[in-house]
Chain A
Amino acid sequence: MTFWKLFARNRGAVVGLIILLLITFMAATASLFFPEDPFSLAGQPMSPPGENGYLLGSDSLGRDVAAGIAHGAKTSLLIGLLATLVAVFVGIVMGALAGYYGGVIDNLLMRTTEMFQTIPSFIFAILLVAIMKPSIESIVIAIAVVSWPAVARLVRGEFLSLRNREFVQACHTLGMADIRIMLGEILPNCLSPVIVIGSLMVATAILIESGLAFLGLGDPNSMSWGFQIGAGRTLLRSAWWVCTFPGIAILLTVLAINLVGEGINDALNPRLRERT
């Protein structure tokens, strides 16, 4: 069966994919529908949704909430993707070396990984962003630094079990070089779980970014959902819409990505295929 057929067997995943595509579309067309800077004061502050020409209302400074959500989607998706890519890359390198060579190298790399895992990840991310100055790059670095250990542990486990398989040993008897065995033979066989964990990690990255922005540690030059919630939290009772809509945006995005991740997992993991 093709990948798409397997994926489509999970209805939730298809719904998630549609939501995700809509959000991506929104991020891509943000400047078309809301050409103004989302930070600019568009008009009357504290307008409820639907009034004064605001689709989703405005905040205490008169910024358009709808424009913020559209432009914020760009930031969230960008940071989520970039951070995950960096984390997956670092995780694969560390995990592959540890799992393939074992022994001293494994001990060394895994103890390092554990050191990263002992610090609560969100606090660690706050610390990193606070030390570097808040910007898109520093947030990406912070999120990647707290996320790679999970990938490393997963890849190490896969490499450990695959390196003793007969097809890998057959490559040894052919005299193949280690790097070729790692990249050409073992890695393609452990990509499925990595793709799955990566897709779920995008959701976590978006949450961390929102959390950082909420605490005022977001990039001051780019609009983000977390920032909007942070700005609206003092007005929660008088202007509920300022927090609510960005909150729903985060919820939908994270949910959609998780559903898609689940769907990819079902499609790529043959042991779960028969689960009906």
Chain B
Amino acid sequence: MSRLLDITDLHIALPPESQRPYAVQKMNLHLEPNEIVCVVGESGSGKSLTARAVMGLLPKPRVRINQGSVLFQGEDLATASDDRLRQIRGSDISMIFQEPMTALNPVMTIGTQIDEVFRFHDKMSGKERRSRALELLRDVQLPDPEQALKAYPHELSGGQRQRAMIAMALALDPKILIADEPTTALDVTTQAQVLKLIKEMQATHGTGVLFITHDFGVVADIAHRVAVMQNGLVVETGTTDQVLRNPQHPYTQGLIAAVPELAPRAARPRSTETVLKVNNLQKTYRSGGGLFGGKGREVHAANDVTLDLARGETLGIVGESGSGKSTVARCIVRLNDAEAGEILLGDTDLRPLGRAAMRPHRSKIQMVFQDPYASLNPRTRIGKIIAQGPMMYGASAEEARKRTLELLEIVGLDNRAYDRFPHEFSGGQRQRIGIARALALEPEVLVADEPVSALDVSIQAQILNLLDEIRDRMNLSMIFITHDLRVAAQVCDRIAVMQRGKVIEVGPTAELFAAPKATYTQELLAAVPGKGWFLKEDAVQAQAT
């Protein structure tokens, strides 16, 4: 009997001017019914293109399958006609995407979009289609399915949109579901729910799931079998247990070692000197209202936030999207103006200072940004990006140059970087440049807003180490914003958990992890992907000893 999906010796060719000739090379992978196979790899490993090749959605003619076969129940999809592929897509193989907001049509209701799936592939009466759609939405556990049918994508939350996508993908009971990073854009608690849902739906329908992800935590939670990809090659395959517990290939070993563990770092003595103190900070966003009255919406992004930062320590601010953690960071570096409260740096309150009055204090608080691709001016050379700070504060061109070269070395970059443009560097290198820029003014406080969330795990670990190293070396105090508790565990001495604009719990990392007081903190900790696997491993070790 032929397998559900059998990929043999698949080669996907890239256009001639690309970095490598093949996006995917010599790929062998199969999928049985009722099985979840995870394809794991870092960005650029070719995992997404593999998924697209199965769906017949490669950006032809520049990227195409040039060797090998993709057999779906014995039928080769690599050579199938477009008409045949259209029949298969949706009814036999369907896909869910990373970002449900862009995968759903914003001007059509969820009901209409599910209805379309039925209309294109099946002959059913309108009433029947409606009742099936309703049933599907009930199956994916959307609250109030009746209402969801009539809702537009923007009226649902991220998690609800992903549920609707899953409903749509499962509408015709496909044999294969391809999920391309379906939970990457979601908050941890939502991610845990959506993963659970995918597992349940897969089990009840007996679907084979090809799950693309970069997160080993997610793999541990969901996969039966794993394929690890690096630069277009499958370097290791095996059952989840085999690959996670006993990785054979050095690349897999490196990746798994780089996954931040949910174990708090060793506690360090805390300095008694307070560098920064935030008291009762308030920031409200107002939207709507407008010219003709109407009721505006108010969001308390920071509601009575009080924090303090001792010299040399790292304070983590953890929360999900919309919790106000970035707003607090931006208020502290004065990119946003808070309405009330105090931001005490030493003895000066920064909050009420005007732009001109703020200027002399700017150099003491610097920021590292989230997106390494957006945080460097694409038209400015690296040397100038770093040197312009000191030069604005009166350093001569020669001094600034010397300082810049020194900083490049500190962040682990070559001298030659000085005359290059940002697009010549990888994401991790760019983040190093961003850090060098922030350090150029010799700040006392460094605010890092999700500095590693746009990076691959192996690079993440390097950047986190670098941040740790320079904090000690330059006696910096750091505020570290993150949504990822695993990352926070690695770098933070103390953690503040935020929810809906409020700080609901602050404490030393170890204490907070061992005995979380607030229910929300407990939920967050429980939702960390792969937690079960880490615990199991501990249990295994405990048994062994």
> Which B411-446 residues sit within 8 Å CB-CB of chain A?
434, 437-438, 441
Bound CA span A166–B374, Å = 6
- Annotate A157-180 by CB proximity to B: 1 below 8 A, 0 otherwise: 000000001110110111110000
**Inter-subunit contact A175/B369 (CB<8 Å):** no
Q: How far is the CB of A113 from chain B (nearest CB, A)?
A: 19
Q: Does A189 contact B (CB under 8 A)?
A: yes
- Annotate A125-167 by CB proximity to B: 1 below 8 A, 0 otherwise: 0000000000000000000000000000000000000000111
Specify which of A167, A176, A185, A276 lies most central, judged by the most chain B CB atoms within 10 Å of its CB. A167
CB-defined contacts of A103 to chain B, threshold 8 Å = none
> Which B34-74 residues sit within 8 Å CB-CB of chain A?
62
**Inter-subunit contact B379/A170 (CB<8 Å):** no
**Inter-subunit contact B375/A176 (CB<8 Å):** no
Compute the total of residue contacts between A and B using a CB distance below 8 Å. 53
Q: Does B389 contact A (CB under 8 A)?
A: yes
Q: How far is the CB of B203 from chain A (nearest CB, A)?
A: 41
CB-defined contacts of A172 to chain B, threshold 8 Å = 335
Q: Does A35 contact B (CB under 8 A)?
A: no
Q: Does A120 contact B (CB under 8 A)?
A: no
Q: Interface SS of chain B: helix, strand, loop or mixed?
A: loop
The answer to whether residues A165 and B374 also contact, given A170-B369, A175-B362, A274-B62 and a CB cut-off of 8 A, is yes
Specify which of B366, B367, B370, B371 lies most central, judged by the most chain A CB atoms within 10 Å of its CB. B367
Bound CA span A139–B434, Å = 50
Q: How far is the CB of B289 from chain A (nearest CB, A)?
A: 15
Q: Does B98 contact A (CB under 8 A)?
A: no
The answer to whether residues A169 and B362 also contact, given A174-B389, A174-B441 and a CB cut-off of 8 A, is no
Bound CA span A169–B441, Å = 16
Q: Does B346 contact A (CB under 8 A)?
A: no
CB-defined contacts of B374 to chain A, threshold 8 Å = 165-167
> Which B338-366 residues sit within 8 Å CB-CB of chain A?
358-359, 362-363, 365-366
Bound CA span A26–B359, Å = 56
CB-defined contacts of B376 to chain A, threshold 8 Å = 167
The answer to whether residues A175 and B363 also contact, given A169-B335, A169-B369, A170-B369 and a CB cut-off of 8 A, is yes
Bound CA span A9–B376, Å = 30
Q: Does A50 contact B (CB under 8 A)?
A: no
The answer to whether residues A175 and B359 also contact, given A166-B371, A170-B367 and a CB cut-off of 8 A, is yes
Q: Does B193 contact A (CB under 8 A)?
A: no
**Inter-subunit contact A167/B333 (CB<8 Å):** no
Q: Does B540 contact A (CB under 8 A)?
A: no
Bound CA span A167–B433, Å = 12
Known contacts A167-B376, A175-B358, A176-B392; 7 additional CB pairs below 8 A are A167-B375, A173-B365, A174-B366, A174-B392, A175-B363, A176-B388, A188-B379
Residues of A participating in the B interface, judged by any CB pair closer than 8 Å: 165-167, 169-170, 172-176, 185, 188-189, 274, 276
Nearest first, the 5 A-B pairs at minimum CB distance are A175-B362, A166-B375, A166-B369, A167-B377, A188-B379
A-B contacts, 15 of them at CB < 8 A, read: A165-B374, A166-B370, A166-B375, A169-B369, A170-B375, A170-B434, A173-B362, A174-B362, A174-B366, A174-B389, A174-B392, A174-B437, A175-B362, A175-B393, A188-B379
